[in-house]
Structure 1
């Protein structure tokens, strides 16, 4: 009995001791890992001996966003860099650096904790620095202290072991000696960081890789990685994977809990970087970069900030402002010269003013250029010793090359015998590749861009034109930046900077090349992206003729009267995208546009541009390779066929906001739209005023239920949604995690299910029950046409807005009828008494009553008139233009002049279509909507224009009469037949 009593106690003591020992082992392993990470340093560009810098000393905050899909992005990253500088049209979820680990905690919209996070970002944007910074934060106790172990890997290191067999436990022991005391990681809180998925060789293959669940079983590193990401190995572990956009699709979407994107520096963060790195020179550096828009845009990438500062920090005290680099080619030429000067000073004890192109330096540059070009053709950014040997670089002296041009070419340190090499950034590789192709042609006559490398001499202009052709034939733009550099090197000013390195070619063949590029800009079928790059090429060649001409057209207000060529449309797009103003919307209605012209534009409002279903095919092809974030196609007769074509492109690009209001859609469109919701980054969708009905809403709900759906705002105003559709929406939004924050079901009857759901969730939705309860809506839409059943007219009170004109405001050359509902401009001055409200110089009149809420009225007109609404405070006295309707911020007007409609607000005019004889006005002051319609003979309303703004006061209808004999009459709306 005594022994029996002692046995459980002994067992308990044994377990207790074991737990204590295990806890101590974990604690020591964790502390050892943290101690190792605390020794980390980070280097800008490449580490230079004796110049390591603590990470916390130079780190600058980056702009990080949540969201985005993990689909492939095949475009050249230079396009991504340029378009990222434009602010997104839709709100974005931003993440601060110190909060990034919090994303691994349970998400408020997901019942499961986030396991795997994929972080995208272009080369040089700061992904690696982020992983180092956050590893250090964990080691210093500043972040994610519920983690017991953190294992940071790079795919470059793992590539070296691609043919070696390891168990997961063995791999961790091999890389991280502090973990050797642990033989299992199943029950620990562990985070794996895998940096640089795009550098994984060969790429991960999830379709044919065997399953593996035992962390002690040996397999290839490739198999271990795939099963870690799948969740077969250590399912409790958390993963953070970084990648460039082109490799994001290697991991199937079902294995990614969240996608984030590093955008680089915001404008204030750029300035913080320069002020941190330089003190006295910071203001001058910032001023110079701001003066050159293209450089300032690209400086949101940290590596560009570093290159810019490397070039600019010394010359600012030695060089005139006009000689500082003003194009990308000039910047990279200066960058190479700086490295050569550093080499002279460091290795040959020469002055930085001495000749810097020694024979050895030239040999290194040409060998690196050959390596850059040959590997660029193969699509390789990482090289091995065999690649160096093929280009005449001795692998045994590789450290010398990376030491001489430490900020151009670098040897990547590793734990193993195999060494890896790369250029400091893809743009540096492309610059050296262009330098190699340029020098080869002018020294030997060989054109490396020709398929057979023909050595027969050809004219210089033919050489550059063949380069243009080669770049245009690449659909993904992978030679775009290379072409900019190559054409930039044709400038004598750039060649003089490289005197002693380049063969002198100052024969000035630029005119023929410029002419050839302008011809290409007028070629039909060439994508918008390629045309924009050709304009960048002209900029590199210092030819600004197209840009200056377009600026003159814009300044003189001549664009709306001009049928522009494709080259001019491309130039307009180039100017809009490189503008330093925060352009939120480009309205095509202000230009003489055609369906073809939309192929060259990016920030689009295509409201009422007469687009048909046929337009959607070319539009979809543009969208599939563009960076649009805001697209408004409202009031176009796209129909179901057009939307189906459009959706094929929507799945492939990062659109945030899409408006398809009044586009003639039926329930059949909703299947295509639902597939977009479940496979895109769309956050705002407006489908108002389409005949979607309940069956269409039910199809949309299948997309709303999908996990990848990111929709935050859905507008279904006037879509014939009844109780069945309302119940479907309530069910979809209640049964699945949802990001939806705004739902507009005005002018519908969604029923009690939707109302109850909104109350439970504390929403303030626009149901407008007073308008729709108990009525059967009968809305039918055609292109710009709206036929309203009599029931809805009486429900909305649209025929109850009765008012008369105020004689005390009428100009003395205006004659009012006895009922004050008709006004005519006459030559004889009327004997009205003096009144402070009277217009004295402008032939205008206001109504007696100010309007609020929803109001509708119609007017019949003759001659030349303006139909307006105005605040009471509009000026009445004086000849100044500010007294006229639409010429100020107090009024909004539709003007009929020479039988053509125009709208005017704040003296900003927009030309519309030819004019009819009856105009309708709809005002919803609470929603901030003012719409003008033309009323057809059959009672249909054709929308002319809608102002969207915030109204702060009651609005008074008003009329201006612009010529003698002109008149305006208020029409009794109930006398008009509007039966469907």
Structure 2
């Protein structure tokens, strides 16, 4: 967030802002307000509500109490929408006051969306109305040019209107098609500036930061909706002409581009562009050399006669290139060889680079999509806007399930199952992954109907089981027609493995022939999709993860000790994490129950391969015992063990290590799921240090089922909030809870947290040491917590309430702690007791029967009071008093 704290807004700047806004007519203000409406709603959702309401109340625009009350009754989005509408309905003065309030808030709340809106309003205000109308109505075109444009729109509408939802064989006979407006779900697109070689597999890394982004949305996550991609960019201080959109495989880059083009062709988006040209790098791979003119005519032949005229207005053109990572050309955007003539024969790389660098059709706009891994080697700084698709957040995930099943009860049942399974749920941010999960669960539900004895036990619990079930579904369908060709599976598995190792997603006919993949096999379309037109056809797996699963499976279909050992060592050695999911799959297949899912269709998978993998895991575990082992390496091994479901292996290999320290290491929800399995397998863990691991709601949810097995749990500085206390309650009150020491220090717990904590402590039988320091616990409910801690039956021996916002009126109640005869240590420092509270603190020190040490410093005592406290040491020689 530091990048947004560049300067402080002065009172002079606020006056200048007020004067600028006052110049606009009410009509213009209404146009601007409608233009920014979506942004304003998001900003209100993200910022501190009280800060906005206080500003508006100060200007006598609203009643603070009334709107605070309303906020409690409805969700953040509904409240934001209502507030924006209410302000608008109050008229010009209210709208001006609202803008002024937001302008003043940017010092304390420099949210990038807020800064971007204010920047666009102030920097482009004089031209903004014209720009809004241009985006809505488009440039004026001659009649013949208008006819040509309309033909182009209709062509693009035909290509983009239908959204195809692939269905795996066995569920339906064919894929289903839907109108894109009916089934398209918004994807979260955020600003992103950093692409480098990632130490983790890109799916795992992106999934891991989802929870982080959910929290950042309240502070400094810049969210960019599709209709904002070519809007004013606050970071670069310009209206972008070159935009880069990244995203992991299957996250929806192509679908986003399809919806973007559809909305333009339908007249709903960016009409400033007279023509939009949509290309896929995969389909351009067959072109060795061509000109930009030929590239367009090959795709849109009806534009041939108008092309020269189209090129004359380059500022009205948008070129979209989808899938940079699938280009066979190494596109160097910084290269010196560029072209200026749209009719000049060049490579695809030179043409794209020249458009981006503006030597070709200067003034045109360019939009490129790519996987993050490819961008580690691409110069991205020349783009005006760089963004990343984050896929689905929880609300969109649930909506996807409802769309897929089209039956609310079934969708709810499926989503609930996945929501409770952290291993599966973590990857649900990827739309294509949601499809695979829904496909498998749909099959499970059907089997349950056929066989009433079938239970939830047969549902997938690991990612490996999910993909084994997916594959078994495909094979079951083909088994009804003819026998499964095991050699075909081996061939396509070898090709898949080669692709994983070489970062290859798109394969040619020559690639298939090189690996003896028979394209005439009835199984081909179940694994790969075709793109392009003969003779330039390319093939890719339905999803990268399916490719990775087949790469692992081939070693169980055709076991070779040397080949398997080499594959394991190579996968482990990759610094960019490309081998991580492969390793998890190959470990998961070592589990006999997982392999049994495929046995009816392809027979026994190699038991020797399973033993080989288990030996490899044992070796990997032994390397974790060395000092200073990297935590990411440790978690990668733990993840493979989790997929293997081999609790005996975990217990025998890791169980002897009674302490697990991940302090100050970011733990994603998936990591927490993995740790839960490790703890469940080990059972006797003495210490789990999760201080400053950025564990939040979802992460705590994933690890909580097993935290009760640990003796000492440290959850210091994890931004846990009142909403997370029910989960903490379930941990502490577990019938078999072993926790003796619990630190919840420096989190976001509030007065509301006190009652459930009190109930939990009262029910717990093991807890002896509790640290609640640096939480805002002061309030009426704190007395209920104190009552439990003061009960003669309370077992708490060490209690820390440092910096919990306690004031003098709490001091007398603290005296009740003398009833807890087990208490030997008390930390109540860094509160606000002052001299007023001293008599009660003095009495507590002098009369507590069991206390051996008390910390009372930093409580706004006078020097004389502090001296008096120290003098008490003479009366309580059995107690240490620390200031």
TM-score for both structures, normalised by structure 1: 0.53
What does residue 16 of structure 2 align with? none
After TM superposition, list the pairs within 5 Å mapping 1:696-845 onto structure 2: none
Q: Secondary structure at the match of 1:105?
A: coil
CA offset digits 1:413-445 (Å, max 9, x no partner): x2452110011111111111111122211xxx4
What does residue 282 of structure 1 align with? 411
Q: Tell me how far apart the structure 2 counterparts of residues 604 and 878 of structure 1 sit (CA, whole Å).
A: 32
Query: Could you say which structure has the higher helix fraction?
Result: 2
What does residue 520 of structure 1 align with? 623
The answer on whether the counterparts of 2:248 and 2:372 sit within 8 Å (CA) in structure 1 is yes
After TM superposition, list the pairs within 5 Å mapping 1:180-259 onto structure 2: 180-182=304-306, 183-184=308-309, 185-188=311-314, 189-259=316-386
Task: Please state how far the C-alpha of 1:46 moved relative to its aligned partner.
Answer: 7.4
**In the alignment, structure 1 residue 379 sits paired with structure 2 residue 503:** yes
CA offset digits 1:377-415 (Å, max 9, x no partner): 3332111011111122234x27x4443x1xx21112x24
| Cα distance change of structure 1 residues 242 and 959 upon mapping to structure 2, 3 Å threshold | farther
Larger Rg: 1
The partner residue of 1:448 within 542, 545, 563 is 563
Task: Please state how far the C-alpha of 1:487 moved relative to its aligned partner.
Answer: 1.6
Q: Tell me how far apart the structure 2 counterparts of residues 118 and 341 of structure 1 sit (CA, whole Å).
A: 42
**In the alignment, structure 1 residue 291 sits paired with structure 2 residue 420:** yes
What does residue 537 of structure 2 align with? 419
| Cα distance change of structure 1 residues 882 and 493 upon mapping to structure 2, 3 Å threshold | farther
Task: Please state how far the C-alpha of 1:342 moved relative to its aligned partner.
Answer: 2.8
Q: Tell me how far apart the structure 1 counterparts of residues 623 and 233 of structure 2 sit (CA, whole Å).
A: 51
| Cα distance change of structure 1 residues 493 and 110 upon mapping to structure 2, 3 Å threshold | closer
Q: Tell me how far apart the structure 1 counterparts of residues 649 and 475 of structure 2 sit (CA, whole Å).
A: 37
Q: Tell me how far apart the structure 1 counterparts of residues 880 and 488 of structure 2 sit (CA, whole Å).
A: 82
What does residue 330 of structure 1 align with? 465
What does residue 673 of structure 1 align with? none
Task: Please state how far the C-alpha of 1:194 moved relative to its aligned partner.
Answer: 0.8
After TM superposition, list the pairs within 5 Å mapping 1:306-705 onto structure 2: 306-317=435-446, 318=448, 319-344=454-479, 348=481, 358-395=482-519, 397=520, 400-403=522-525, 405=526, 408-412=527-531, 414-415=532-533, 417-441=535-559, 445-450=560-565, 468-499=568-599, 500-506=601-607, 509=611, 512=615, 515-524=618-627, 526-544=629-647, 569=662, 578-579=671-672, 603=694
What does residue 98 of structure 2 align with? none
Q: Tell me how far apart the structure 2 counterparts of residues 970 and 134 of structure 1 sit (CA, whole Å).
A: 65
CA offset digits 1:773-816 (Å, max 9, x no partner): xxxxxxxxxxxxxxxxxxxxxxxxxxxxxxxxxxxxxxxxxxxx
CA offset digits 1:228-263 (Å, max 9, x no partner): 011111121111111110112454244210111111
What does residue 44 of structure 1 align with? 165
Q: Tell me how far apart the structure 1 counterparts of residues 639 and 371 of structure 2 sit (CA, whole Å).
A: 24
Q: Tell me how far apart the structure 2 counterparts of residues 865 and 157 of structure 1 sit (CA, whole Å).
A: 64
Task: Please state how far the C-alpha of 1:525 moved relative to its aligned partner.
Answer: 5.6
The answer on whether the counterparts of 1:550 and 1:572 sit within 8 Å (CA) in structure 2 is no
CA offset digits 1:812-841 (Å, max 9, x no partner): xxxxxxxxxxxxxxxxxxxxxxxxxxx9x9
Q: Tell me how far apart the structure 2 counterparts of residues 306 and 537 of structure 1 sit (CA, whole Å).
A: 24
**In the alignment, structure 1 residue 155 sits paired with structure 2 residue 281:** yes
The answer on whether the counterparts of 2:241 and 2:384 sit within 8 Å (CA) in structure 1 is yes
Task: Please state how far the C-alpha of 1:874 moved relative to its aligned partner.
Answer: 2.5
Q: Secondary structure at the match of 1:32?
A: helix
| Cα distance change of structure 1 residues 541 and 111 upon mapping to structure 2, 3 Å threshold | closer
| Cα distance change of structure 1 residues 159 and 880 upon mapping to structure 2, 3 Å threshold | farther
CA offset digits 1:543-570 (Å, max 9, x no partner): 3479899999xxxxxxxxx9965x6659
What does residue 194 of structure 2 align with? 69
| Cα distance change of structure 1 residues 449 and 468 upon mapping to structure 2, 3 Å threshold | closer
What does residue 893 of structure 1 align with? 829
| Cα distance change of structure 1 residues 881 and 344 upon mapping to structure 2, 3 Å threshold | farther
The answer on whether the counterparts of 1:149 and 1:190 sit within 8 Å (CA) in structure 2 is yes
What does residue 128 of structure 1 align with? 254
Q: What's the Cα RMSD here?
A: 4.7
The answer on whether the counterparts of 2:853 and 2:880 sit within 8 Å (CA) in structure 1 is no
Q: Secondary structure at the match of 2:250?
A: coil
| Cα distance change of structure 1 residues 473 and 247 upon mapping to structure 2, 3 Å threshold | closer
What does residue 921 of structure 1 align with? 858
The answer on whether the counterparts of 2:478 and 2:484 sit within 8 Å (CA) in structure 1 is no
The answer on whether the counterparts of 1:155 and 1:197 sit within 8 Å (CA) in structure 2 is yes
The answer on whether the counterparts of 1:25 and 1:181 sit within 8 Å (CA) in structure 2 is no
Q: How many residue pairs are counted as aligned between the two chains? A: 590
The partner residue of 1:28 within 147, 151, 158 is 147
CA offset digits 1:601-625 (Å, max 9, x no partner): 96499xxxxxxxxxxxxxxxxxxxx
**In the alignment, structure 1 residue 165 sits paired with structure 2 residue 290:** yes
Q: Tell me how far apart the structure 2 counterparts of residues 969 and 448 of structure 1 sit (CA, whole Å).
A: 67
Query: Could you say which structure has the higher strand fraction?
Result: 1
What does residue 178 of structure 2 align with? 53
Q: Secondary structure at the match of 1:86?
A: helix
CA offset digits 1:128-163 (Å, max 9, x no partner): 1000011111111221122211111110111111x1
The answer on whether the counterparts of 2:280 and 2:322 sit within 8 Å (CA) in structure 1 is yes
The answer on whether the counterparts of 2:443 and 2:473 sit within 8 Å (CA) in structure 1 is no
CA offset digits 1:166-219 (Å, max 9, x no partner): 2x2232122113422321423151111111111111210244452212223332
The answer on whether the counterparts of 2:422 and 2:670 sit within 8 Å (CA) in structure 1 is no
5+ unaligned residues in a row in structure 1: which ranges? 1-19, 349-357, 452-466, 553-561, 584-590, 606-629, 633-838, 844-863, 896-914, 924-929, 936-956, 972-980
The answer on whether the counterparts of 2:188 and 2:223 sit within 8 Å (CA) in structure 1 is yes
Task: Please state how far the C-alpha of 1:871 moved relative to its aligned partner.
Answer: 2.3
CA offset digits 1:860-914 (Å, max 9, x no partner): xxxx999887224427469865999xx9xx995379xxxxxxxxxxxxxxxxxxx
Q: Tell me how far apart the structure 1 counterparts of residues 547 and 323 of structure 2 sit (CA, whole Å).
A: 18
The answer on whether the counterparts of 2:191 and 2:387 sit within 8 Å (CA) in structure 1 is yes
What does residue 807 of structure 2 align with? 871
Out of 270-279 and 494-503, give the one that drifted further.
Answer: 494-503
| Cα distance change of structure 1 residues 211 and 572 upon mapping to structure 2, 3 Å threshold | closer
Task: Please state how far the C-alpha of 1:277 moved relative to its aligned partner.
Answer: 1.3
Task: Please state how far the C-alpha of 1:482 moved relative to its aligned partner.
Answer: 1.0
| Cα distance change of structure 1 residues 960 and 64 upon mapping to structure 2, 3 Å threshold | farther
What does residue 301 of structure 1 align with? 430
**In the alignment, structure 1 residue 146 sits paired with structure 2 residue 272:** yes
Q: Tell me how far apart the structure 1 counterparts of residues 591 and 855 of structure 2 sit (CA, whole Å).
A: 61
